[in-house]
Structure 1
Amino acid sequence: MNIGVDAAALGRSNTVVASTKDVNSGYWNPAGLVALEDHQVSFMHANYFANIAQYDYLAYASPIDERSAWGISLIRFGVDDILNTTELIDSEGNIDYNRISLFSTADYGFTFSYARKLPVPGFQYGINAKIIRRIIGKFANSWGFGFDAGIQFEKNDWQFGLMVRDLTTTYNVWDINEKEYQKIANAIPGENQELPESAEITAPKVQLGLAKKVTFRYDYSIEAAVNMNMRFAKTNDLISTDGISIDPAVGLEFGYTDLVFIRTGMGNFQNVMQLDGSEKVGFQPNVGLGFKYKGIQIDYALTDIGNQSTALYSNIFSLKVDLSMFRN
């Protein structure tokens, strides 16, 4: 739930909390859904870990009336066809490769979003209700739930956004298959002797965004944005204290006639420990391209164009469709 969605946003290093205004707002900041003028759908696919893991996203959103909108989305991150070797050795101590089976492990996130304009001009808010489903073959599975909340404000072409993820703390409760667990409980002496914890907790996180779009010579536009991603714990983020850690990100989008877009951004600034004991600042540079025509937008992002950080190298494609084009 923290990787991000939509190649257009990922190409800008996720700096869209203040400016998001389409179907993907359900993920980035649900307040942006109120800008929708008609029904929209979005789809994204990406491969991670040299195509071992599959990351997919599907979303739909539409306005309710002039002041409110709603949306739903589904995220899946999974690894399929994993070898299950827990029964490789039979009861007589013989290795039997026919006893190897396959299983999948996957995380699912289902989100329902609602947004509404406030009586104060320029202000809107949005909320998310999330259901988390995690499955590790026949070994374990969990259900979880949580909430997000966001606001946006726009004045004089300046856009401000605030997104609080896991506002009430997101809980996952695991159900572990004890019969399967016993098959590996004593595989390594002194290890795996007790069942893992059955509760998993995700603490709140805050994202603060600022953006401004400038149009010049009628056909050209530039939108610059900055995000401050905050966690309430000491981490290896660029700015880190005992009470809060902050990871800044910057993004830039150049557009021509609202048809062609070029994007870039830098984020994931981390204090990275070197082998010699010294530290350096690592970061993740991203680039992206987009094409929009008659309600159809196709975007591409390359989410690590160098070795400045330990970020995952990935090619990401996404598609967004304004359903009004079919009525027209």
Structure 2
Amino acid sequence: MINVLKRFTFILISFSTFFAFPQTAKYSNEFLNIGVDAAAFGMANAVTATTRDVNSGYWNPAGLVHLEDNQVSAMHANYFANIATYNYVAGAMPIDSKSAVGFSIIRFGVDDILNTTQLIDEQGNIDYNRISLFSTADYAFTLSYARNLPLEGFSYGVNAKVIRRVIGDFANAWGFGFDAGIQFQKNSWYFGVMARDITTTYNTWTFDDSELATIQNAIDGQNQSTPEASEITLPKLQIGVAKNTALTRDFDLNTSVNLDMRFAQTNDIISSGSVSATPAFGFEVGYVNLVYLRGGVGNFQNLEQLGGNGTEIGFQPNFGVGFKYKGIQIDYALTDIGDQSLALYSNVFSLKLDWSVFR
């Protein structure tokens, strides 16, 4: 069984490497790397091996097969001092005892941005009535399918996702891509592999030339230039291992570790010319499947110091709590405790409901 997991991992790496073109930009559709579910945030997102609910459509669709009933989930978070909002809703249901489907929507946006391109009229007069508002937003629509493999303990899942990006009336883009994942459970050990954008995710931009032309004092190539009409998101690979331990009759401990890999050179603490990686560690202590305490640390980066004084390692600690009662689960996470990285403080809230609540 372990050999099957190794072969599947090798196949996903091969796909990712084959489609990772050297000339492609390192970062695209980065809003899809933020994550979902406050429970996962509390564990530094080290949940590739253990996710097994409606949120598995994001973390590893193979986990959807563990659903026992229909589930819905929602999350809200603010970023950059409440300038940007991140919202997520998802639903999933078992088809039969061996398979399940899910659907999710993500929106990451900044609203009510002042458009001052027409502040000064043709005569050079400032007219504040000419100021308007616009929004920039990124959307992701994902359809997931999961199924148990004939081998005991194995399951696989796939995602098909559509990307929609909008920058006011100036530009918009459509994109599409695929993810694939696998999970394996043996006694109290859990293993998972998630490959994102396995065929690369392709975005095509459309620009409104008439709107761009209204921007005054713009000189093409100096203070304004039209971006590339297409973007390609490079594949990413996440490998996770976890173990569940019964501490006492009432307390359980789940410990997990992830290795998140990009097929590009980045500031991750493990970095080469073609592959970069950063680890993440998380734990969850549960009391009678009712109350949860979580913690974790991840996002290890080599951070450049001001004044050219070399680099230092930055990381992102996380803390979370959760409460579950009769199919209703409420979770909270606080990220970047102590400001150990360049990321800002974030308070994340999420809600998950089993459909049995409505019966």
**What residue is the counterpart of 2:33 in the other structure?**
2
Moved more, 276-285 or 94-103: 276-285
Distance in 2 of aligned mates of 1:98 and 1:67: 60
Distance in 2 of aligned mates of 1:101 and 1:190: 26
**Structure 1, residues 228-256: CA drift from partner, whole Å, max 9, x if none?**
00001111101111121111000010110
Tell me the amino acid that sits aligned with residue 263 of structure 1.
R
Distance in 1 of aligned mates of 2:223 and 2:96: 55
* Alignment partner of 2:344 out of 312, 322, 328: 312
**What residue is the counterpart of 1:285 in the other structure?**
317
**What residue is the counterpart of 1:139 in the other structure?**
170
Question: Contact 1:132/1:145 (CA < 8 Å) preserved in 2?
Answer: yes
Cα distance change of structure 1 residues 254 and 97 upon mapping to structure 2, 3 Å threshold: same
**What residue is the counterpart of 1:18 in the other structure?**
49
**Structure 1, residues 55-74: CA drift from partner, whole Å, max 9, x if none?**
00000000000100000000
**What residue is the counterpart of 2:7 in the other structure?**
none
Give how far 1:189 is off: 7.3
**Structure 1, residues 66-89: CA drift from partner, whole Å, max 9, x if none?**
100000000000111000011111
SS for the counterpart of 1:267 is strand
Question: Contact 1:184/1:192 (CA < 8 Å) preserved in 2?
Answer: no
**What residue is the counterpart of 1:166 in the other structure?**
197
Distance in 2 of aligned mates of 1:148 and 1:40: 21
Question: Contact 2:43/2:283 (CA < 8 Å) preserved in 1?
Answer: yes
Give how far 1:193 is off: 5.3
Percentage of pairs with the same residue: 67
Tell me the amino acid that sits aligned with residue 310 of structure 2.
S
Distance in 1 of aligned mates of 2:92 and 2:224: 47
**What residue is the counterpart of 2:79 in the other structure?**
48
Does residue 322 (structure 1) correspond to residue 348 (structure 2)? The answer is: no
Does residue 302 (structure 1) correspond to residue 331 (structure 2)? The answer is: no
The size of the alignment, in residue pairs, is 327
**What residue is the counterpart of 1:121 in the other structure?**
152
**Structure 1, residues 30-75: CA drift from partner, whole Å, max 9, x if none?**
0000000000000000011111111000000000001000000000
SS for the counterpart of 2:58 is helix
SS for the counterpart of 1:286 is strand
Give how far 1:218 is off: 1.5
**Structure 1, residues 192-231: CA drift from partner, whole Å, max 9, x if none?**
5542211011000000000111113221000000000000
Distance in 1 of aligned mates of 2:225 and 2:346: 37
Q: Which has the higher strand share?
A: 1
Distance in 2 of aligned mates of 1:254 and 1:194: 52
Question: Contact 2:161/2:177 (CA < 8 Å) preserved in 1?
Answer: yes
Distance in 2 of aligned mates of 1:321 and 1:170: 31
Moved more, 314-323 or 208-217: 208-217
Distance in 1 of aligned mates of 2:264 and 2:216: 33
Distance in 1 of aligned mates of 2:171 and 2:315: 35
What stretches of structure 1 of length at least 5 have no aligned partner? none
Give how far 1:308 is off: 1.2
Alpha carbon RMSD of aligned pairs, Å?
Answer: 1.1
Question: Contact 2:117/2:216 (CA < 8 Å) preserved in 1?
Answer: no
SS for the counterpart of 2:100 is strand
Q: Any runs of at least 4 consecutive aligned residues in structure 1 with deviations exceeding 6 A, and if so which?
A: none
Distance in 2 of aligned mates of 1:140 and 1:292: 43
Normalised by the length of structure 2, the TM-score is 0.89
Distance in 2 of aligned mates of 1:194 and 1:105: 18
Question: Contact 1:186/1:193 (CA < 8 Å) preserved in 2?
Answer: no
Question: Contact 1:55/1:76 (CA < 8 Å) preserved in 2?
Answer: yes
What stretches of structure 2 of length at least 5 have no aligned partner? 1-31
**1:80-119 to 2 correspondence within 5 Å?**
80-119=111-150
**What residue is the counterpart of 1:266 in the other structure?**
297
Distance in 1 of aligned mates of 2:76 and 2:169: 26
Does residue 209 (structure 1) correspond to residue 275 (structure 2)? The answer is: no
SS for the counterpart of 2:119 is coil
**What residue is the counterpart of 1:187 in the other structure?**
218
Cα distance change of structure 1 residues 190 and 64 upon mapping to structure 2, 3 Å threshold: closer
**Structure 1, residues 144-176: CA drift from partner, whole Å, max 9, x if none?**
000000000011211000000001100110110
**What residue is the counterpart of 2:11 in the other structure?**
none
Normalised by the length of structure 1, the TM-score is 0.98
Q: Which has the higher helix share?
A: 2
Distance in 2 of aligned mates of 1:263 and 1:56: 22
